[in-house]
């Protein structure tokens, strides 16, 4: 990772990053998600992300099953399946990140604590307690098993357990923080590079894939990309699972060569983030169909948005329009689902 500062990035990659940053700037300057919508989007993202990230690793719960499971408090019993246990751990870890991301520095301690939370609901048979939040004590190469023949194919040899894993993880974190402080590398590129090296090390016995996706969300939030909470990073990866593994493998296979080639993985990662911005842009268009409004409608909409809840008298004081005309306009916006009304008669109040 220490050589990334000298790496040459393609024009295509730069173009995608520019699109992401353009969206990021627009999102920051036009924060129009209401508090209620933010809460609902986070809930939906937790359901979708927990399902997608665990299914990538072989879990079988659907989003509907996870929604019901979460609504019941993610209760775990002796009869709970491994899929339920993995989802429960992922939900806990994701909520922890959403709450504390700003306070969590990238350290070995915090990485290990996040792994402990992620794996906290597994049984001792699934993962010994001493291996939750602790570096691996066995070899854990990335393998593919043929379910028909039982034959295993090693796709990538990870860092050996013991001192080599400890040193490699420590160096990875140190290098990440040096580049973060120097601001030499674009944040999203730095996150992607951290993830591909982290997965090459595979520092924990189990849960490395799930943890890598949690780390991606954590670091995106840490760098100020707060919109990452409003759509599932993990779901887009699940939808592109084959390309995900190929991109990782092709990049990691160059780690032992004289010249590392990050292109395939970086392109995959930034395309995932770009897709997230496109999904949120679609949400924003549904939230604020301003382009389809006439000038008076736009003005009234902006007044309501800026003041949260308004009655007709308040709006009339800020716009040149008859009361009857305003009532007709407001009814039109309500009928179109653009604004909502609470109360009746003189007590009516309008909000987005």
Q: Quick one: pLDDT at residue 327?
A: 92
Lowest-confidence range among 44-48, 149-153, 277-281, 302-306? Answer: 149-153
- Provide the whole-model pTM: 0.81
3-state secondary structure 22-33: HHHHHHHHCCCC
pLDDT band at 181 (very low <50, low <70, confident <90, very high): very high
Least confident among 151-160, 172-181, 233-242, 258-267: 151-160
Show contacts of 104-112: CB within 8 Å, 24+ apart. Answer: 104/218, 104/222, 105/177, 106/173, 106/176, 106/177, 106/180, 106/219, 106/222, 107/173, 108/169, 108/170, 108/173, 111/169, 111/173, 111/203, 111/215
- Position of tokens 């160059």? 254
Distances, alpha carbon 347 to alpha carbons 280, 340, 343, in Å: 34, 14, 6
Give the model confidence (pLDDT) of 146-159 as tens digits.
767 878 888 889 99
Task: Say if residue 2's pLDDT is above 90.
Answer: no
pLDDT tens for residues 14-25? 999 999 999 999
């Amino acid at each position: 990772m220490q050589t990334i500062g000298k790496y040459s990035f393609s024009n295509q990659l730069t173009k995608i990053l520019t699109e992401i940053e353009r969206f990021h700037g627009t999102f920051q300057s036009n924060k129009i998600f209401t508090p209620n919508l933010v809460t609902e989007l986070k809930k939906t993202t937790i359901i979708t992300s927990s399902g997608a990230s665990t299914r990538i690793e072989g879990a079988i719960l659907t989003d509907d099953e996870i929604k019901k499971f979460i609504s019941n408090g993610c209760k775990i019993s002796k009869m709970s399946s491994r899929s339920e246990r993995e989802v429960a751990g992922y939900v806990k870890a994701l909520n922890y990140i959403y709450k504390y991301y700003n306070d969590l520095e990238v350290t070995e301690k915090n990485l290990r604590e996040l792994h402990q939370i992620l794996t906290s609901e597994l049984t001792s048979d699934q993962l010994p307690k001493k291996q939750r939040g602790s570096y691996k004590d066995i070899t854990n190469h990335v393998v593919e098993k043929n379910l028909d023949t039982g034959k295993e194919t090693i796709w990538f040899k990870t860092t050996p357990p013991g001192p080599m894993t400890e040193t490699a993880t420590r160096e990875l974190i140190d290098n990440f923080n040096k580049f973060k402080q120097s601001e030499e590398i674009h944040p999203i590129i730095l996150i992607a590079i951290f993830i591909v090296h982290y997965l090459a090390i595979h520092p924990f016995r189990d849960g490395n894939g799930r943890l890598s996706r949690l780390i991606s969300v954590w670091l995106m939030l840490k760098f100020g990309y707060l919109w990452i909470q409003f759509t599932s990073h993990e779901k887009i990866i699940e939808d592109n699972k084959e390309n995900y593994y190929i991109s990782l493998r092709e990049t990691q296979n160059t780690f032992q060569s004289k010249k590392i080639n990050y292109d395939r993985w970086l392109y995959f990662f930034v395309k995932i983030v770009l897709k997230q911005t496109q999904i949120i842009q679609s949400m924003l268009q549904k939230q604020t169909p301003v382009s389809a409004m006439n000038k008076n409608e736009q003005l009234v909409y902006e007044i309501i948005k800026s003041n949260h809840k308004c009655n007709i008298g308040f709006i009339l004081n800020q716009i040149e329009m008859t009361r009857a005309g305003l009532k007709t306009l407001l009814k039109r916006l309500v009928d179109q689902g653009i604004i909502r009304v609470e109360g009746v008669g003189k007590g009516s109040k309008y909000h987005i």
